[in-house]
Chains A and B, each alone.
Chain A
């Protein structure tokens, strides 16, 4: 089927053949030319310099306010005006723009805040500066005009980033949460997501692993999908789909906006359904050059260790278990055993440090921010760690009144050492818990002890693992976005951008002979390498106009995006020497099968938005995006996502403003659709995958059916309605936002079980739907102001999720296996129930007597001293029908409470967050309360069953406990955590002047100092499944959480 392609088609064809860069540029230039041509035909009237508060945002290229009609200035008598601009405290303000209203004539105040300008006598001067209210002064014959600028009141006049633009907060019709840079300043953070935790209602952030650089999972208004991704879309400085926040310097962040409802997200169409996180980095301001230096240094320590048996206690247990199972006594001489505390042997107090230097400033035509950062965190687990070097350059260039350039370039290199994300099957965390404490760390020869009297003679010596194994992951990233902006005519702007995100990661692993694995494999090395690219070209038009009581703002454009990656992994083993480690794979005598692969996907989109404001009272927004994705079936490539929103600013109505109660009162309602395409490429296609099969010892390769095709595969769609109220009282001192929403996701991208007689067990289809509904409440206030300032913000959210339909199935098992544990049953998803319910067996203590066993459903195999499983349906046998719901991995509600208190030069910040009502399957508790004699257990198991009546909690030594989910280790994981508390001291002005500094702050921060929880494991926030929707609520050897104390200094000069 050959279609006739025109000129553009040729473009796309070549674009496909990897000439993307060149052609996008040509494409942009071409369009640029078309627009210029169109524009040049129009009469260009004198353009006004729109010098408004410089809003720092990725998308502030668009004019904020609509232009006023030109007053056609006549030629007039001129005079020279001079003066000084100061802030409210009287300090001089350099870099203030002083512009003659209605013209492009303007100057900037100098170092001491002075200016001088030649103006017509009847002119009006506009004084503007970032963060200050703009002031207008009529010249009226004066020769000296001194101006005191007041700080812009935050809150209602704030401007926030929205998709493909910015908007005054008062004009927003959707549900958008805004988080300022304060949330990131003065913390020692690996990743930005940590700074988001608890800061926005409806945004649940869980650090699923506490290891350095560990995974953070974000759910905005609950999970929409079962088998497709649920993480939000990240947009960094306008680059859509730029995740990997580990690589970003938190000091660069100006603000983060979270888009929650359909009105806000549908502009991102097929990728907006999980919510959107817009990250804006700092932008240069005209005026004086500023230098900002921040240094942090601190220590971390694990918050708890588990109380396990010592060597003596364990040896007795192991012997007892051996006797009970007719086996050889493990530790015949109890005087000759060791007493090793494995936990204390692998954890340490470790330093964390970061240094960041930022230079910013510029002149009217060129503004810049340059920053560099070094971050280094040593893990509490010996030899684990994360470090990052990053550099950023944000440049704004004004070529002419019509043409502007913006460039955002950031490069970074991160290194993650000896970590395995969410806890693993064979990691040191596990073996520090399970290894026999009766075994020594080193054997008699002084080498690592790798033999044990228990567990098949194997000792996965965790000290050897942390000390000798190498597992380093490096990632190098270049993320850059170049934006050209052209003012075609008054109010009409064309913008074209070209963004590139390149990631190159490599992982080096080596197990020397000193570790157990290394000894088994005679040393093994693995190198894996992964490169990925993400290319984005956006072409947008923006038109703004205001007349009488009307304001309109129109946006339209098209974007093309292409991403892909390649990976490769090779492994060899059998090394004679451990000297070169992974650096010479050729030194391994045995070569294992290498693997490699590649993927690609493309997205083309057309988007549009119309905002209309009448009389500053009634606000309307209509948004639509038409997306085409390569990932879907041939007939379903394109889809349209619309939304509409309406807001009513009641405080602008006389009947409300006359009440003199509200300083802000807005009602918002929105409805719309957005989608998810968060599945891997090629899911719609049938596949034949390679498989190695030798004949007669000769290597040979076959191709075998991998999966079924699904030409009907299509988008997952989430329809959402949102009802919101924003209120403020007492001149914005008390602020309240309330939102309630209902989301229904249809055409779920679901891995459906199909009859295995087909040769396949699953197929990927659009089946079923689910709903999320919730309520979000955010209360902020300036409780005290004056000598003592205290501002506070509290937010709390609840989300309820329900599976409405799973196609032909009433339930599906969707979880993964972890280390032989039957985690599969944790991902039990059932129609009418929420995703996250945990099902398992109820237990009823311990069988005490043979009579009790004989009368039970377990008479065939149980013995006195065995764990007693409840025959829930009383049918005389224990099977899957006896499982019951044991709780839910989803919290009933979660909250954040932020406080800022200042008094003179001192300020105190503290932040508390928590969740309530969620449970965690503590697999470690299962292992640690099972006295099989092979693995260590809780110290409390000295009180195990030794005869009738001795214990109804812990079974007999050596008894068999099947690996199922039982009620006794599904634990309440609700917690309240003091996430941070910071005490800072700002040097006073006099000191600063004598030191020639602009500002200086000393502070001390404590992170995760206190946690209140009933959870018995290391960390109630963890989940071994990481981001996974289906493998929820499991703790298996998770990295312990730690508390951190940091001292820091921030200097501006």
Chain B
């Protein structure tokens, strides 16, 4: 019988010495520690961060928060969540997926950027020039997301290290001053990035030196530090790195993606979910290229009426009767719709995907920022102010502004010009909050809406976020 003990021995040996056999080697994804061991791996990790930026741009939340909640965009459908943004019906404990998605996705990008930075800092298996570039790119992306978040939500947790299993995720918020300090630090680091013109054609679309400078200027402008904003924006406008594209309409065609006017843009993604796409969500149905649109969002009457009849930019707007082939259609409810993101040909529109990049900022925005900053600094429009705004007007086919405008008159012109030039590009809500004109402008556009100040200068922290992590409470002022 003793010999049967041999079998127990076999069992023992199997268990104790070969647990390795049960170790998992994943086959359809890469373990993080294996990714950042080569130049190619480091670049792939950074590319992953960019892919989420594209989702931020093309998914609905960004343009719903920045355009629908303003006097620019109207809602065609009756979806309660979007209605809440359009009509200022948000409540603190409503689980609005628009806010939630924006919040979650931004933090996802921040964590990925943190991961890239933590994995590459002092990592000598990646060559120095690649490493430094990627560290700057990741810093730019991190700052870019914190800048969105801090403007939407104010105080936030400040996280600069990637999340690991076992971490305490129940973090508390810090003041927005601390967040802005980190944003400025990160954008300043990103100023060491290559210029867009220095990138090879295959790398255009990555964060660049110019983008970092423009965003720094935007941050200073938002903080009303006009002097710093001015010197930073001048570093951009005093070079030939950027310029306006000759034709406004061309700018929104596939051939002009990453043109000289584009400063920082989310790159068009293939196979993008068509139902969310700004291309089909903004266009009347059918599109002028006879593809299907979902026409969820229209241009408000107040914005449409702002366009002078000879404004070239109206070529991207359709209102009332229009013709597709030989058939006549009427836009829904007689509203105005835009074809900005639909592409400029049937071929570009044929995919029903966003045909063109989403430009977070472009040179026209830079020029109008310069106009605004110089008008503020000098307490009066300067020549620089006129030159900047008139360049944008000239391309739109409008006459130069008359000389002798007061600061307020110039401000009103800048306001109108920004609306006409940059509508549906994700600037309006930021502008209105920066100018403290949210209540005035939104209520002029839609008198049934009641905007509460300062409550509506921030969005409520998403219910899903605060219900999981009560350390984020109290909610923003007025949303408690």
Chain A interface residues toward B at CB < 8 A: 3-6, 8-9, 12-13, 15-16, 34, 38, 326-328, 456-458, 520, 541, 558, 590, 592-593, 596-602, 604, 606, 626, 628-631, 634, 637-638, 681-682, 684-706, 708-712, 753-761, 763, 860-861, 877, 879-881, 960, 962
Contact = CB atoms under 8 A, between A and B. Distances in A.
Nearest to B16: A3
B104 interface: yes
A702 B46 contact: yes
A755 B31 contact: no
A691 B35 CA distance: 14
Chain A interface, >50% SS class: mixed
A323 B72 CA distance: 27
B372 to A, nearest CB: 30
A689 B29 contact: yes
Interface string B127-166: 0000000000000000000000000000001010011110
B6 A695 contact: no
A631 B111 CA distance: 26
Contacts of A763: 165
Given A597-B28, A688-B32, A694-B270, A702 B44 contact: yes
Interface string B268-279: 111100000000
A703 B30 contact: yes
B258 interface: yes
Given A755-B469, A755-B472, 10 more contacts: A6-B17, A592-B271, A599-B27, A628-B19, A684-B24, A688-B31, A691-B51, A701-B44, A702-B49, A705-B162
B464 to A, nearest CB: 7
Interface string B248-263: 0000001001100000
Nearest to A752: B468
A684 B23 CA distance: 11
Interface stretch (B89-97, B209-217, B239-247, B383-391): B89-97
B26 A692 contact: no
Nearest to A567: B28
Contacts of B6: 34
B48 interface: yes
Contact of B18 (A9, A706, A760): A9
B63 to A, nearest CB: 20
23 contacts: A6-B13, A12-B14, A38-B3, A457-B286, A541-B7, A558-B11, A590-B351, A598-B28, A599-B27, A601-B24, A606-B15, A638-B19, A682-B26, A688-B30, A689-B29, A691-B51, A693-B47, A703-B44, A708-B165, A753-B468, A755-B469, A758-B159, A759-B107
A700 B202 CA distance: 9
A638 B169 contact: no
A3 B292 contact: no
Interface in B280-316: 285-286, 292, 294
A630 B24 contact: yes
B29 to A, nearest CB: 4
B47 A637 contact: no
Contact of A703 (B47, B93, B258, B270): B47
Interface string B91-113: 10111000000011001101110
A686 B19 contact: no
B51 A880 contact: no
B91 A877 contact: yes
A458 B293 CA distance: 11
**What are the 9 closest A-B residue pairs judged by CB atoms, nearest first?**
A759-B111, A702-B47, A704-B48, A702-B48, A597-B28, A755-B469, A693-B51, A598-B27, A691-B51
Given A688-B48, A711-B165, A695 B31 contact: no
A682 B51 contact: no
A38 B48 CA distance: 61
B267 interface: yes
B97 to A, nearest CB: 9
A695 B14 contact: no
Nearest to A709: B165
A759 B201 contact: no
Contact of A327 (B83, B95, B333): B333
A685 B29 CA distance: 10
Contacts of B257: 696-697
Contacts of B83: 861
User: Taking each of B27, B167, B204, which has the highest tally of chain A beta carbons within 10 Å of its own beta carbon?
Assistant: B27
A327 B330 CA distance: 11
A757 B15 contact: no
Given A692-B271, A695-B202, A696-B202, A5 B17 contact: yes
A754 B169 contact: yes
Nearest to A638: B15
B367 to A, nearest CB: 24
A758 B468 contact: no
Contacts of B41: 703
Given A687-B31, A708-B164, A708-B165, A701 B24 contact: no
A327 B87 CA distance: 22
Contacts of B104: 756, 761
Contacts of A598: 27-28
A687 B164 contact: no
Contact of B111 (A9, A15, A558, A758): A758
A755 B285 CA distance: 40
A1 to B, nearest CB: 9
B378 interface: no
Contacts of B51: 691-693, 702, 704
A13 B472 CA distance: 50
A697 B20 CA distance: 44
Contacts of A761: 104
A759 B29 contact: no
Contacts of B465: 755-757
Contacts of B25: 600
A704 B52 contact: yes
Contacts of A712: 165
B27 A597 contact: yes
B285 A456 contact: yes
Contacts of B23: 630, 634
A824 B114 CA distance: 31
Nearest to A696: B204
Contacts of A326: 333
B54 A705 contact: no
A701 B202 CA distance: 12
B267 A694 contact: yes
A637 B22 contact: yes
Contacts of B164: 708-709
A700 B17 contact: no
Nearest to B21: A12
A691 B109 CA distance: 13
Interface string B326-340: 000010010000000
B11 A759 contact: no
A600 B27 contact: yes
Contacts of B45: 688, 702-703
Contacts of A702: 44-51
Given A458-B292, A702-B49, A711-B165, A757 B29 contact: no
Given A597-B27, A688-B32, A756-B103, A604 B47 contact: no
A456 B294 CA distance: 8
A625 to B, nearest CB: 13
B201 A757 contact: no
Contacts of B399: none
B22 A602 contact: yes
A628 B270 contact: no
A369 to B, nearest CB: 34
Contacts of A692: 51, 269-271
Nearest to B94: A879
Nearest to A811: B467
B4 A880 contact: no
A520 B269 contact: no
Contacts of A15: 21
Nearest to A562: B21
A968 B90 CA distance: 27
Given A702-B49, A705-B32, A860-B89, A693 B21 contact: no
